[in-house]
């Protein structure tokens, strides 16, 4: 998509943080908010013909720059980069938004910005930011969709009550037969439903629950950067992918294998 088709609506600079990063030595730690994601600039652009209120633009900007630190990744990955949020006219078939990691672009339908709640927009932006940061962490090496989607979903929020309900229901309907990673890859590729993302999120929760918390500590991504996804997981977890999947299925049965009577989600979490 050519830049001329877009108008730049706002450039927000996290200048204080950038300055802090450019300073050498010990003042760096003192100047940075270590619990907060640091991005140099957020540029919000709209497709030609789209008008967004200043409030809507400010809201998107706020929901990007107010993000807490992204877990499982080196700090400061986005601290010297400009991220572009592109508000587009068209709908994205079956998905909420799309990230283009090597271009540092996140595309979101403009209509979504108007209609989504803050919590949904924050979560979607965070998922896409995870893609951008993972791309930067891995030097933009290709990784399978199940890995990047599961990791992005894991880092965007803890498993929602709504997702838990879907997983419990699926376990009851299919008698505890959980899908394997190749089956989930097909679901993800074809944007079949949310359930594929839910399952993949639980895979990373399961991995992080193993000794050493290798996902949240960043050691899993480090190993994947060095060895690729399959060999990287094997080296980090000292088990091959097939045996990790087997353990994960047991974890799923234990955690979601029933649908207790009276299980409900508060209405406020469903958006």
As a whole number of angstroms, the distance between CA 182 and CA 166 comes to: 20
Contact between 105 and Zn ion by CB under 5 A: the answer reads no
**Helical packing angle, 181-189 and 145-156, nearest 10°:** 80
Closest approach, Cβ 94 to Zn ion, in A, equals: 12
As a whole number of angstroms, the distance between CA 73 and CA 71 comes to: 6
Closest CB to Zn ion among 122 and 171? 122
Residue 251 is encoded by which pair of tokens?
Answer: 């974890």
- Judged by CB under 5 A, the stretch of 30-38, 52-60, 146-154, 234-242 that binds Zn ion is 146-154
Closest CB to Zn ion among 12 and 83? 83
Closest approach, Cβ 91 to Zn ion, in A, equals: 16
| Alpha-carbon distance values, 19 to 13, 16, 39, 63, 233 (Å) | 11, 5, 12, 22, 36
Closest approach, Cβ 155 to Zn ion, in A, equals: 11
Closest approach, Cβ 162 to Zn ion, in A, equals: 18
Contact between 97 and Zn ion by CB under 5 A: the answer reads no
Closest CB to Zn ion among 32 and 37? 37
Q: What is the 3-state secondary structure (H, E, C) of 33-89?
A: CCCECCCCEEEEEEECCCCCCHHHHHHHHHHHHCCECCCCCCCCCCCCCEEEEEEEC
Closest approach, Cβ 63 to Zn ion, in A, equals: 17
The residue written with tokens 């080296």 in the block is 235
Contact between 60 and Zn ion by CB under 5 A: the answer reads no
Each residue 147-166 as x (binds Zn ion by CB under 5 A) or -, in order, gives --x--x--------------
What DSSP designation does 262 have? T
Contact footprint for Zn ion (CB under 5 A): 149, 152
């Amino acid at each position: 998509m050519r830049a001329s088709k877009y108008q730049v609506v706002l450039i927000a600079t996290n200048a204080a943080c950038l300055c802090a990063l450019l300073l050498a030595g010990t003042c760096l730690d003192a100047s940075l908010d270590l619990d907060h994601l640091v991005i140099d600039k957020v540029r919000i652009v709209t497709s030609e013909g789209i008008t967004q209120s200043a409030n809507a633009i400010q809201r998107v900007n706020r929901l990007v720059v107010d993000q807490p630190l992204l877990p499982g990744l080196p700090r400061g990955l986005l601290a010297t980069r400009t991220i572009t949020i592109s508000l587009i006219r068209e709908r994205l078939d079956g998905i909420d938004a799309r990230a283009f990691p090597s271009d540092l672009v996140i595309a979101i339908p403009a209509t979504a910005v108007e209609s989504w709640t803050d919590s949904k927009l924050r979560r979607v932006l965070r998922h896409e930011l995870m893609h951008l940061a993972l791309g930067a962490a891995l030097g933009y090496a290709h990784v399978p969709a199940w890995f990047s989607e599961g990791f992005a979903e894991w880092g965007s929020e803890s498993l929602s009550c709504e997702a838990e309900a879907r997983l419990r229901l699926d376990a009851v309907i299919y008698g505890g037969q959980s899908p394997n990673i190749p089956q989930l890859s097909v679901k993800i590729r074809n944007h079949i439903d949310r359930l594929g993302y839910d399952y993949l999120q639980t895979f990373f929760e399961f991995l992080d629950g193993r000794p050493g918390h290798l996902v949240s500590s960043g050691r899993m991504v480090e190993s994947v950067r060095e060895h690729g996804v399959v060999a990287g997981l094997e080296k980090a977890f000292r088990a091959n992918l097939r045996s990790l999947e087997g353990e994960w299925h047991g974890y799923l049965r234990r955690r979601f294998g029933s649908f207790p009577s009276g299980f409900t989600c508060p209405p406020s979490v469903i958006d």
